[in-house]
Structure 1
Amino acid sequence: MKNIFIILAAFSFVSCTSQNSDKIKETTLKTTKKTETKKDTMSLKIVKTDAEWKALLTPEEYAVLREKGTERPYTGEYDKHFEKGMYVCAACENPLFTSDTKFDSHCGWPSFDQAIKGSTTYHKDTSFGMIRTEVMCAKCDGHLGHVFDDGPKETTGQRYCTNSVSIKFIPSK
């Protein structure tokens, strides 16, 4: 009986090791694959450990982007910011929004009526007893905020309520 247990334990270890090895290879391929088109670049996932994200981001950026936090309203750098340019993910610099889609929704956070196609992903968020749609960076899965259907009716009707700390602004040249 003891020998059977040892054989089963060894088989289980080899099986797990093999699966983990495949996952490591897959992760490595995702992060090192070279692409030539913009579409391919946006679809590549950036995979980092929590320790790597903590070393890369400020504590506030980490709390919002990785732990799905929210900055206090009317405190963010980009709430009343209306220069021409592009807004990118603060974690991975994935282009997310253009300045011509930004509007003042008077909610205390930067608001956009649409994201750059393919730059974001969406997840059902049922936290805090509400049903909302979470918006995440398609490249690094960083939490950006939420999207609501109360935006400008003359455009998309959507309001991407975004944390300033989750984005960075790149001015037009």
Structure 2
Amino acid sequence: MADVDLYSYVRDIPDFPKPGIAFKDITPVLASAEALDAAVTQLADLARPLKPDVVVGAEARGFLLGAALARELGAGFVLARKPGKLPHETVRAEYLLEYGTDALELHSDAVAEGARVLVHDDLLATGGTARALCELVEQLDGVVVGCAFLIELAFLNGRQRLAQYDVNALLRYDDGE
């Protein structure tokens, strides 16, 4: 498993979702039992020392590995969804993407006061989504113990927006190619 080259399972989709963006497609990671197992296991290995009670995953790709990561860690999983998608009372945070703006919501009772929370998404770009997740957790009096990503687009400097947190990523891309 440690010898699985996860980079080889990530493909670039040029000009998606708009011209100039090189989308990192993780569906080949998910389609391979070996790569999926390696990704979840390696993320869990990074996060285990943080002892999270809960993993919060961002819609939609953060759900894919996030729930499996939570299970591997023996933690709960919380959905961070687009506005209007959760059926119960919510808290909301807006954020900037590298190509627009968006918002996420959590159920207002999703994170217990003092809960140790790992923030997860598939990709760290500008840091807007992850920063919004951290703000939501903190609105609910949870403690963000770290952030874990499959991919980091280091050239977009998202890590800077998360400087106060322990940030880990399995794969790092240093340029937009």
TM-score where L is the length of structure 1: 0.26
Higher strand share: 2
| Larger RCO, structures 1/2 (Cα 8 Å, 6+ apart) | 1
